[in-house]
Amino acid sequence: MSKKLSRRTIAQYCANQIIAKDDLIIKKLAAFLVDSNRTREAILIVRDIESALASSGTVVARVVVAHELQASVEAEIKKFIAHSTDATKVAMQVTTDASLLGGISIDTPDHRFDDTVQGKLKTLRANKV
Amino acid sequence: MLGSLYSFAQASSGDSVFTSIGIDWKILIFQGVAFLVLVFVIAKWVMPPLVKAVDDRQKKIEEATEAATQAEKNAKKAEESTQSKLDEARQQAADIVATAKQEANAQLEASEQRAEQKAEAIVTNAREQIEKDVIAAKKALHNETIELVALATEKVVGKTVDKSLDNKTISEALKEVR
């Protein structure tokens, strides 16, 4: 009976493959998870992969904004993430959510930056006694 | 006996010194003897019972006087005793009244104190309640203000912020954080 691989081991392997530019690694991972009946761990494994990539200098950041970003602003955001995380490479996932009203939210494996209007209103509402 | 005496006197009467001054010595003797007999009779039969009666009466009077004196003494004694008892009773009554007054005053003071304490407690409670109400009102006002500001901000920002303004704001925010 084969030993169950830990999430960390799987994540580290996938991260190494991504850095080595293996385009099929994600499909392989998906197949592995289905085969080993571990599909529920998918999200956790993805986060572990992101953490492993961040340790190697590649940061995956989820960026949420209220309006479409201009190219210059996107570049500024990338610069900001690279500076904050000491990353050599930054991969951004940008999504738009109008309910944020304005501002930006940046999520990396180790940091969270919330400068949205909705976030500020939440903080304000949290000050209710 | 008297008749014979009278006859003897008539027979032997003659003129003497006694007749010169108008005294008949025979009648005188007779009257003397009669007197003596009368005295004897009175002394023997009348005086003793009379004296006894007088003595008895005297004795009774003395007894009555003594009884009256004793009764007077007893009455005086009784009066003195009654007076002293009355005095004692008056004194006791005065003491009771004084004690009752003292107790009434003490009760009145205690009631006043209790009423004062109750009033103070009511005032203190009212003050505390007012303070609590003020604090609650301040909290409610604080929360309402926050909510109103948040709603107003949502409405205003939702309408005024467009893509370019948002991008500009994001750029400035990133510069500030750096």
DSSP chain B: -HHHHHHHHHHT----HHHHTT--HHHHHHHHHHHHHHHHHIIIIIHHHHHHHHHHHHHHHHHHHHHHHHHHHHHHHHHHHHHHHHHHHHHHHHHHHHHHHHHHHHHHHHHHHHHHHHHHHHHHHHHHHHHHHHHHHHHHHHHHHHHHHHHHHHHHHHHH--HHHHHHHHHHHHHHH-
A residues 23-62 lying closer than 8 A (beta carbon) to B:
none
Could you give the CA distance from residue A120 to residue A113 in angstroms, rounded to a whole number?
Answer: 12
Beta-bridged to residue A112, according to DSSP, are A107
Residue entry with tokens 């509402």: A125
Query: Which of the four pLDDT bands, split at 50, 70 and 90, describes residue B173?
Result: confident
Q: Which residue has the higher pLDDT, B6 or A53?
A: A53
C-alpha span between B156 and B154 (Å, rounded): 6
Residue A45 contacts residue A29 (beta carbons within 8 Å): yes
Instruction: Locate the domains of chain B by residue range.
Output: 2-177
Given a cut of 50, the residues of chain A with pLDDT beneath it are none
Of A80, A101, A115, the CB nearest to B158: A101
Tell me, what amino acid is at B38? L
Instruction: Judge whether residue B167 has pLDDT over 80.
Output: yes
Integer Cα distance of A58 and A91 in angstroms: 7
Confidence of residue B7 (pLDDT cuts 50, 70, 90): low
Per-residue pLDDT band for B16 (boundaries 50, 70, 90) equals: low
* Cα A65 to Cα A52: distance, rounded to the nearest angstrom: 26
**CB-based contact A115:A104 (threshold 8 Å):** yes
Using one digit for the tens of pLDDT, what is the confidence trace for B119-146?
A: 999 999 999 999 999 999 999 999 999 9
Distance CA B31, CA B2 (A): 10
- Calculate the average pLDDT of chain B: 89
Which candidate, A40, A56, A45, A124, places its Cα nearest to that of A90?
A56
How far apart are alpha carbons B168 and B166 in whole angstroms? 5
Cβ contacts (< 8 Å) between A80 and chain B: which residues? 174, 177-178
Asked if this assembly's ipTM is beyond 0.90, the reply is: no
Higher-confidence residue of B85 and B7: namely B85
Model pLDDT, residue B41: 94
* pLDDT at site B138: 94
3-state SS assignment for residue A92: strand
- Per-domain residue ranges of chain A: 1-56, 58-129
Separation of CA B147 from chain center: 81
Does the pLDDT at position B71 exceed 90? yes
- pLDDT band at B55; cut points 50, 70, 90: very high
Res A55: pLDDT? 86
- What is the per-residue pLDDT for A57? 85
Mean pLDDT of B77-88: 96
Quickly count: other Cβ atoms within 10 Å of residue A93's Cβ: 10
Which positions 73-92 of A are in contact with B (Cβ < 8 Å)?
73, 76-77, 80, 83
pLDDT of residue B114: 97
Across the interface, of A66, A72, A127, the residue whose CB is closest to B146 is A127
Selecting from B143, B166, B171 the residue whose C-beta is nearest the C-beta of A129 gives B143
Identify the helix (H) or strand (E) that includes residue A47: helix A42-55
What is residue A3's predicted lDDT score, i.e. its pLDDT? Answer: 77
Give helix A42-55 / helix A25-35 axis angle, nearest 10°. Answer: 140
Would you give the distance in Å from CA B100 to the centre of its chain?
13
Q: B141, B144, B155, B170: best mutation site toward chain A, by most A Cβ within 10 Å?
A: B170
With 80 as the cut, is the pLDDT of residue B104 above it? Answer: yes
Closest CA to A102 of A70, A66, A73, A69: A66
